[in-house]
Amino acid sequence: MVSAATRKNLLKVRVMDFITSIAILPLLFGCVGIFSLFKLLQYMRMKAYIRNAVVIITGATSGLGRECARVFFAAGAKLVLCGRNREALEELTRELAASRVTEVQTHKPYIVTFDLADPGAIVAATSEILQCFGYVDVLINNAGISYRGAIIDTSTDVDKRVMETNYFGPVALTKALLPSMIKRRHGHIVAISSIQGKISIPFRSAYSASKHATQAFFDCLRAEMEQYEIEVTVISPGYIHTNLSLNAITADGSKYGGEAPVSLLFCEKLLVSHRETFCSYLINLYLFIQI
C-alpha cells in the first residue's frame, strides 16, 4: 500500500521529469545559440580591429610571416612588410595586389628592408617604418632563425648570432616603436616565440635560449605596458613546415640546408634534458597532495 506522502513525492518526480524533458532541448539550443553569437561577435570585433590597422610584420618573405601578410592584407590592414630580401617582398606585394579581395578595401603594402642582427640598421628602419603611415597599431615580431648543433661544438659567435636575430633585434625594434605607441596610448605587440620558449630541446641550445629570453622579455613588457593600454602577446607554436629548418645555422655558423628526422638519440636526450623539470613536477604534485 503506497502512502499519500509517497504518492505526492512520486507525482513531484513525474512533474520534474516532464519539465526536464521539455526544457532540455530549448536549453541546449539556447546554449549553442549564445555560444555561436559570442563567436560571431568575437569574429566581427577581430575583423573591425584589423581593418585599416597599421600592421608591421618582420620576416614577411617566407613561412609564417608571408602567411600573416596574406591574411592581414585580405582583412584590410595597412601593411609594412619587413625582411632582408627586397625582391622577395616585392614579389609578395605583387601577389597580394593580384589576389581578389572583394569584401573589404585593401591597401598597398610598404616594404622596409633591414637586418635584425644589425643594431645600427634597426634605428634607421624604425624611422622608415613610422614614415609609412605615421603610426603603428600592431607590431608582429616574427622573423627568426633556427640553429642545430651540440653545445660543445658551437662557437659563442653562433650563439650571439642567433640571439641577435631572435632576441636583441626584436627587442630593439620593439623599444624603438614603443614611444609612438605610448604617445597614442594604443598598440599591440606580438612576439612569435615557440614551444621551445618554454621547453628546451637538446642540440637547439641557442634557439631555445633565444625563445626563453623572448618569452621572459615580452612577459615583463606586458606588465609594464598595461598602464598605457598597450597589449603584448607571446605566441608559442609547435612545428610548422616552413623554411626555418633549411635556413638553420649549425655549430660553425654554416647553413644547415636539410631536414633531419627526429632520431632516437634526440628523444633520449630530450628526456634527460627534462628530467629535472619532470622530477620537480612530481615533487610539487606530491607536496600538493600531502598539503
Ligand X SMILES: NC(=O)C1=CN([C@@H]2O[C@H](COP(=O)(O)OP(=O)(O)OC[C@H]3O[C@@H](n4cnc5c(N)ncnc54)[C@H](OP(=O)(O)O)[C@@H]3O)[C@@H](O)[C@H]2O)C=CC1
Positions touching ligand X (CB under 6 A) are 59, 61-65, 83-85, 88, 115-117, 142-145, 165, 192, 194, 237, 239-240, 242-244, 247
Q: Of these partners, ligand LVWHZ4SM, ligand X, none, which one is at the site of residue 65 (CB under 5 to 8 Å by kind)?
A: ligand X
Q: Of these partners, ligand LVWHZ4SM, ligand X, none, which one is at the site of residue 143 (CB under 5 to 8 Å by kind)?
A: ligand X
Would you say 111 or 244 has its CB closer to ligand X? 244
Would you say 88 or 199 has its CB closer to ligand X? 88
The closest of 156, 67, 169 to 114, measured between CA atoms, is: 169
Q: Of these partners, ligand X, ligand LVWHZ4SM, none, which one is at the site of residue 197 (CB under 5 to 8 Å by kind)?
A: none
Q: How far is the CB of 108 from ligand X (least distance, A)?
A: 20
Q: How far is the CB of 64 from ligand X (least distance, A)?
A: 4
Q: Of these partners, ligand X, ligand LVWHZ4SM, none, which one is at the site of residue 81 (CB under 5 to 8 Å by kind)?
A: none
Q: How far is the CB of 169 from ligand LVWHZ4SM (least distance, A)?
A: 17
Q: What amino acid positions are annotated as catalytic residues?
A: 207
Would you say 11 or 272 has its CB closer to ligand LVWHZ4SM? 272
Would you say 29 or 239 has its CB closer to ligand LVWHZ4SM? 239
Q: Of these partners, ligand X, ligand LVWHZ4SM, none, which one is at the site of residue 130 (CB under 5 to 8 Å by kind)?
A: none
Give the other-Cβ count within 10 Å of 202's Cβ: 18
Q: What angle in degrees, to the nearest 10, is found between the helix axes of 119-133 and 169-184?
A: 30
The closest of 112, 45, 47, 110 to 76, measured between CA atoms, is: 47
Question: 147: helix, coil or strand?
Answer: strand
Using CB under 6 A as the criterion, which residues of the chain lie in contact with ligand LVWHZ4SM when the complex forms? 146, 148, 194-196, 199, 201, 204, 238-239, 244-245, 248, 270-271, 274, 278
The closest of 209, 216, 248, 250 to 232, measured between CA atoms, is: 216
CA distance 231 to 219: 11
Between the alpha carbon of residue 27 and those of residues 18, 32, 35, the distances in Å are 14, 9, 12
Give the length of the chain: 291
Q: How far is the CB of 198 from ligand LVWHZ4SM (least distance, A)?
A: 9
Between the alpha carbon of residue 75 and those of residues 20, 70, 79, 101, 107, the distances in Å are 45, 9, 11, 9, 10
- Greatest extent of the chain over all pairs of C-alpha atoms, in Å: 95
